[in-house]
Amino acid sequence: MDKYKNLLKVIAIQDLILANPAISPPSVSLDFLSGLSQKLHLNRGAASFLRKYPHIFHIFYDPNKSQPFCKLTDAAMDITRQEAAAISASLPVVVDRLVRLLSMSTTKSLPLRAVFKVWRELGLPDDFEDSVISRNPHIFRLSDDDEPNTHILHLVDEMRDRSFVASVENWRLLECCKEDCIVDRIEMQYSFQHGYPPGMRLSKGFKAKVKEWQRSPYVGPYADVGEMKRSKAGIMGLEKRAVAIVHEFLSLTVEKVVEVEKISHFRKSFAIDFNIRDLFLDHPGMFYLSTKGKRHTVFLREAYHKGCLIEPNPVYSARRKLLDLVVLGRHGMLTNKSKSEEVLQTEKPCSEDENTE
């Protein structure tokens, strides 16, 4: 997370640079970035931050405009091309993710501004309103909301009755098929995968509470919740449904990680009456909540092992290369062969001491 929070700043600057495709090469002035230092959380200023990552950013002087500019290095540009190609190749998967997200909504619709909050997490193209929504009128439609300049994304009527299987169901099926499965089949019907970091001591009371929670029935994230009694069992069922929804939400993301603030924008649409952050804190066996920096970020614990996704995808792999350049910092600048070239040419394995922290 120490490196990840800086990666987010790098991506923000990268997006600003690539937003000027008419300029060759795409670049932005240091004066412009300096004016955004506070918004981008560049505590020591734009120039100081850029110089920390010479494998990603190159500062040059434009004599025609008499001021310094910043562009991406060849290595960083190559990574952006790899990510764009991976996103383009996975468009059918992206469409399915968006359909599933809409299907979890009680109205099969979402505010477009909420989707914009997580477009990168879902692996959507930056022009998804045109390349995904407009090009699939048989799946999606847009309408104006009561609020000015607000649009609502809907599933068309023909898509509303589609049924989906949540990702946790695949895990349950695999667990039940194991020869050494010792979990009761009834308990497995409503269970979620749990895992705790080494050294975390679990009290008997906590274990008993988790066991009771695992056994309790709930309505799945794609099912109609209907009316539920406000009894203890009913409230537990609603809470478990909320957990199932955020679990499925994280499963739909490229990197199985999202900022808590972003997912909170979907609370009303998903009919979640619980504090999102508390859901993550109450289930440490399922979620890892990082509070480093000003952003609270949640990881799907089961998806990671030693700091890497267990089942990586091409988009994640490209983004991981950019993170590797962030980790490099200024290292390797004086060697004969650029370290950034090595990052591009090889897939970096997960080291033994890496973890989601």
pLDDT tens for each residue of 259-307: 999 999 999 999 999 999 999 999 999 999 988 767 799 999 999 988 8
Q: What percent of the chain shows pLDDT beyond 70?
A: 90
Print the domain residue range for 269: 169-305
Question: Tell me, what's the pLDDT at 187?
Answer: 75
Q: Are residues 142 and 234 in the same domain?
A: no
Q: Which residues contact 214 (CB under 8 A, 6 or more apart)?
A: 187, 190, 191, 192, 194
Q: Are residues 53 and 151 in the same domain?
A: no
Confidence band (pLDDT; 50, 70, 90) for 160? confident
Question: Tell me, what's the pLDDT at 189?
Answer: 87
Alpha-carbon distance of 237 to 127, in angstroms, equals 38
Pick the more confident residue, 144 or 99.
99
Per DSSP, the chain holds a count of helices (H) and strands (E) of 15, 11
User: What integer is the mean pLDDT of 57-85?
Assistant: 93
Question: Tell me, what's the pLDDT at 354?
Answer: 44
* Mean pLDDT over each residue of the chain, to the nearest integer: 87
Q: Are residues 193 and 292 in the same domain?
A: yes
Lowest-pLDDT choice from 50-64, 135-149, 181-195? 181-195
Is pLDDT at 338 greater than 60 in this prediction? no
Express each pLDDT in 3-21 by its tens digit.
788 898 999 999 999 987 7
Question: Tell me, what's the pLDDT at 224?
Answer: 84
Lowest-pLDDT choice from 23-37, 59-73, 182-196, 304-318? 182-196
Is pLDDT at 355 greater than 50 in this prediction? no
Question: Tell me, what's the pLDDT at 347?
Answer: 56
Q: Is residue 226 part of a domain?
A: yes
In whole angstroms, how far apart are CA 7 and each of 19, 98, 330? 18, 25, 15
Contact indicator for 269, 105 with CB cutoff of 8 Å: yes
User: What integer is the mean pLDDT of 29-39?
Assistant: 92
Q: Is residue 10 part of a domain?
A: yes
Q: Are residues 132 and 222 in the same domain?
A: no
Domain end among 285, 305, 325: 305
Q: What is the DSSP letter of 25?
A: S
Express each pLDDT in 204-236 by its tens digit.
999 999 989 998 989 999 998 776 666 777 788
Q: Are residues 84 and 31 in the same domain?
A: no
Q: What is the pTM of this model?
A: 0.87
Q: Is residue 3 part of a domain?
A: yes
Q: Is residue 354 part of a domain?
A: no
Q: Are residues 277 and 293 in the same domain?
A: yes
Contact indicator for 196, 284 with CB cutoff of 8 Å: yes
Structurally, the chain folds into a number of domains equal to 3
Alpha-carbon distance of 288 to 226, in angstroms, equals 31
Q: Are residues 115 and 225 in the same domain?
A: no
